[in-house]
Structure 1
Amino acid sequence: MMGRQDIDQITLRLISLVPPGMVDAHKDLRANFRDILAQGLRHLELVTREEFDVQTQVLARTRARVEELEKRVADLEAAVSPPGT
């Protein structure tokens, strides 16, 4: 997830686009840009990298288990089906 430092970097990039003649507005714009970015990011349903990695591992284990169970079912079906069918 984006931290305060990331938001500050984006804010500085946006501020650098403001014409130099508007020096007085830089302080206000910086605060407004930071607040708008932070507010917008809070509305997104984001997860941390750690949470994402944990869920990726859970999914990999689940897939492996499903594959294992599918093989067992196929073996059981083969065992109970009459030969030649």
Structure 2
Amino acid sequence: MLHKLVIDAVSSQASKLLMSEKGLPAPDVEKHLKAMLQSALSKLDVVSRDEFDTQQVVLMRTRERLEALEARVAAMEEKNT
């Protein structure tokens, strides 16, 4: 629900900016849109692509270590029976 409210607010602000009678030059419009989008995204629970990729690598390593430990435990259990 929050995501929809944020997107609606950004959309509304962008429409107001683009429909402005001031006739802002294109670089100013782009600068304002970027600022609005950054503000909207900062309110959402998102991570950067770099953070996502880093966590994905950590997860893969953790999974590999878990599988190795499970194999060791299984081998120890088999040895003891």
Q: Fold match, TM over 0.5?
A: yes
- Identical counterparts, % of pairs: 38
Name the stretch that deviates more: 59-68 or 47-56. Answer: 47-56
Q: What displacement does 1:39 show?
A: 2.6
Please give the TM-score of this superposition, normalised by the length of structure 1: 0.55
| 1:11-70 alpha-carbon deviations (Å, 9 max, x no partner) | 8xx65xx7xxx661765xx69x83553332110122111111111000000000000000
Evaluate the alpha carbon distance shift between residue 25 and residue 73 of structure 1 in structure 2; reply closer, same or farther with a 3 A threshold. Answer: same
Aligned to 2:39: 39
- Please give the residue correspondences for 1:1-85 in structure 2 after superposition, counting only pairs within 5 Å: 24=21, 27=24, 34=33, 36-81=36-81
Calculate the aligned-residue CA RMSD, in Å: 3.1
Please give the TM-score of this superposition, normalised by the length of structure 2: 0.57
Q: Which runs of 5+ in 2 are unaligned?
A: 1-10
Number of residue pairs the alignment of both structures matches: 62
Q: Which runs of 5+ in 1 are unaligned?
A: 1-10
